Amino acid sequence: MPSVLVLNGPNLNLLGTRKPEIYGSTTLADVERLCRDTAEQLGLELEFRQSNHEGQLIDWIQQEGPRVRAGESIGAVFNAGAYTHTSVALHDAIESVELPVIELHISNVHRRESFRHHSYISPVATGIIVGLGVAGYGLAIRALHERASAAKG
Protein backbone atom coordinates (compact mmCIF):
# COMPACT_ATOMS: atom_id res chain seq x y z
CA MET A 1 0.00 0.00 0.00
CA PRO A 2 1.53 3.39 -0.94
CA SER A 3 2.04 6.02 1.70
CA VAL A 4 1.87 9.77 2.02
CA LEU A 5 4.19 11.84 4.18
CA VAL A 6 2.89 14.79 6.18
CA LEU A 7 5.67 17.05 7.43
CA ASN A 8 5.23 19.86 9.92
CA GLY A 9 7.90 22.40 10.69
CA PRO A 10 8.77 24.61 13.64
CA ASN A 11 6.20 25.54 16.27
CA LEU A 12 3.45 23.40 14.78
CA ASN A 13 3.74 21.22 17.88
CA LEU A 14 2.11 24.22 19.62
CA LEU A 15 -1.06 24.14 17.51
CA GLY A 16 -4.11 24.70 19.67
CA THR A 17 -2.27 26.94 22.11
CA ARG A 18 -0.14 29.26 19.92
CA LYS A 19 -2.11 32.19 18.50
CA PRO A 20 -5.49 30.42 18.41
CA GLU A 21 -7.00 33.58 16.87
CA ILE A 22 -4.87 32.82 13.78
CA TYR A 23 -4.39 29.04 13.83
CA GLY A 24 -7.49 27.90 15.70
CA SER A 25 -7.79 25.58 18.67
CA THR A 26 -7.14 22.31 16.82
CA THR A 27 -4.04 20.51 18.10
CA LEU A 28 -1.40 18.74 16.06
CA ALA A 29 -2.76 15.44 17.41
CA ASP A 30 -6.16 16.43 15.98
CA VAL A 31 -4.52 17.20 12.63
CA GLU A 32 -2.83 13.81 12.67
CA ARG A 33 -6.21 12.10 13.24
CA LEU A 34 -7.70 14.05 10.34
CA CYS A 35 -4.79 13.00 8.12
CA ARG A 36 -5.02 9.35 9.22
CA ASP A 37 -8.74 9.27 8.49
CA THR A 38 -8.21 10.81 5.04
CA ALA A 39 -5.34 8.47 4.20
CA GLU A 40 -7.34 5.44 5.33
CA GLN A 41 -10.31 6.48 3.13
CA LEU A 42 -7.94 6.63 0.16
CA GLY A 43 -6.15 3.35 0.90
CA LEU A 44 -2.89 5.03 1.92
CA GLU A 45 -0.47 4.54 4.77
CA LEU A 46 0.42 7.76 6.62
CA GLU A 47 3.75 8.99 7.91
CA PHE A 48 3.10 12.05 10.10
CA ARG A 49 6.07 13.98 11.45
CA GLN A 50 6.94 17.30 13.09
CA SER A 51 10.31 18.87 13.82
CA ASN A 52 11.57 22.23 14.96
CA HIS A 53 14.90 21.44 13.27
CA GLU A 54 15.55 22.32 9.64
CA GLY A 55 18.13 19.56 9.14
CA GLN A 56 15.69 16.89 10.33
CA LEU A 57 13.09 18.09 7.82
CA ILE A 58 15.73 17.98 5.06
CA ASP A 59 16.66 14.41 6.02
CA TRP A 60 13.03 13.30 5.82
CA ILE A 61 12.57 15.00 2.43
CA GLN A 62 15.70 13.35 1.06
CA GLN A 63 14.49 9.95 2.26
CA GLU A 64 11.06 10.39 0.66
CA GLY A 65 12.19 11.19 -2.91
CA PRO A 66 13.52 7.68 -3.65
CA ARG A 67 10.39 6.18 -2.06
CA VAL A 68 8.23 8.08 -4.57
CA ARG A 69 10.34 6.86 -7.49
CA ALA A 70 10.00 3.29 -6.18
CA GLY A 71 6.20 3.64 -6.04
CA GLU A 72 6.15 3.34 -2.26
CA SER A 73 4.97 6.93 -1.64
CA ILE A 74 2.81 9.47 -3.46
CA GLY A 75 4.64 12.50 -2.04
CA ALA A 76 4.42 14.90 0.87
CA VAL A 77 2.16 17.50 2.39
CA PHE A 78 4.49 20.09 3.86
CA ASN A 79 3.66 22.83 6.35
CA ALA A 80 7.15 24.24 6.75
CA GLY A 81 6.02 26.93 9.18
CA ALA A 82 8.39 29.89 9.32
CA TYR A 83 11.00 27.96 7.30
CA THR A 84 8.74 28.57 4.30
CA HIS A 85 9.97 32.16 4.27
CA THR A 86 13.64 31.57 5.10
CA SER A 87 14.93 28.20 3.93
CA VAL A 88 16.75 27.87 0.64
CA ALA A 89 17.97 24.53 2.00
CA LEU A 90 14.42 23.10 2.12
CA HIS A 91 13.79 24.40 -1.41
CA ASP A 92 16.98 22.68 -2.60
CA ALA A 93 16.13 19.41 -0.83
CA ILE A 94 12.69 19.19 -2.46
CA GLU A 95 14.10 20.09 -5.86
CA SER A 96 17.05 17.70 -5.56
CA VAL A 97 14.93 14.61 -4.96
CA GLU A 98 12.03 15.75 -7.17
CA LEU A 99 9.56 15.19 -4.35
CA PRO A 100 5.92 15.96 -5.18
CA VAL A 101 4.98 18.41 -2.43
CA ILE A 102 1.79 20.23 -1.58
CA GLU A 103 2.85 23.33 0.35
CA LEU A 104 0.35 24.01 3.13
CA HIS A 105 -0.45 27.05 5.26
CA ILE A 106 -3.22 26.97 7.84
CA SER A 107 -3.62 30.76 7.77
CA ASN A 108 -3.77 33.02 4.74
CA VAL A 109 -0.16 34.19 4.81
CA HIS A 110 -0.97 36.87 2.20
CA ARG A 111 -3.20 38.65 4.72
CA ARG A 112 -0.44 38.72 7.31
CA GLU A 113 2.96 40.38 7.71
CA SER A 114 4.77 41.12 4.45
CA PHE A 115 7.70 38.82 5.32
CA ARG A 116 5.24 35.91 5.13
CA HIS A 117 4.31 36.72 1.52
CA HIS A 118 7.44 35.12 0.04
CA SER A 119 7.90 31.35 -0.04
CA TYR A 120 11.06 29.47 -0.89
CA ILE A 121 8.96 26.29 -1.10
CA SER A 122 6.41 27.48 -3.70
CA PRO A 123 8.73 27.38 -6.73
CA VAL A 124 9.35 23.66 -6.20
CA ALA A 125 5.87 22.73 -4.92
CA THR A 126 3.41 20.70 -6.95
CA GLY A 127 0.60 22.79 -5.46
CA ILE A 128 -0.18 25.18 -2.62
CA ILE A 129 -3.07 25.31 -0.16
CA VAL A 130 -3.34 28.56 1.80
CA GLY A 131 -5.77 29.82 4.40
CA LEU A 132 -8.25 26.94 4.60
CA GLY A 133 -7.37 26.04 8.17
CA VAL A 134 -6.50 22.49 9.13
CA ALA A 135 -8.99 21.21 6.55
CA GLY A 136 -6.24 21.97 4.05
CA TYR A 137 -4.36 18.87 5.21
CA GLY A 138 -7.09 16.52 4.02
CA LEU A 139 -7.41 18.44 0.76
CA ALA A 140 -3.66 18.20 0.20
CA ILE A 141 -3.62 14.44 0.77
CA ARG A 142 -6.50 14.06 -1.68
CA ALA A 143 -4.70 16.22 -4.25
CA LEU A 144 -1.56 14.07 -4.06
CA HIS A 145 -3.67 10.93 -4.33
CA GLU A 146 -5.49 12.23 -7.42
CA ARG A 147 -2.16 13.25 -8.98
CA ALA A 148 -0.66 9.80 -8.35
CA SER A 149 -3.77 8.03 -9.65
CA ALA A 150 -3.75 10.12 -12.84
CA ALA A 151 -0.06 9.34 -13.39
CA LYS A 152 -0.82 5.61 -13.25
CA GLY A 153 -3.31 6.06 -16.09
Domain 3-152: give its CATH code: 3.40.50.9100
Residues belonging to the active site:
23, 105
Q: Which residues are documented as binding site for substrate?
A: 79, 85, 92, 106-107, 116
**Mind listing the pLDDT tens digit for each residue in 8-55?**
999 999 988 877 776 667 899 999 999 999 999 999 999 999 999 999
CB of 148 within 8 A of CB of 2?
yes
Q: Which residues are documented as binding site?
A: 79, 85, 92, 106-107, 116
Side by side, the strands of the sheet bearing 3-8 are 45-50, 3-8, 73-79, 101-105, 127-130
**Mind listing the pLDDT tens digit for each residue in 105-127?**
998 887 877 767 799 999 999 99
CA distances from 116 to 21, 68, 80, 81, 134 (A): 17, 30, 12, 10, 18
Please report, for the chain, the start and end positions of each structural domain, with discontinuous segments joined by +.
Answer: 3-152
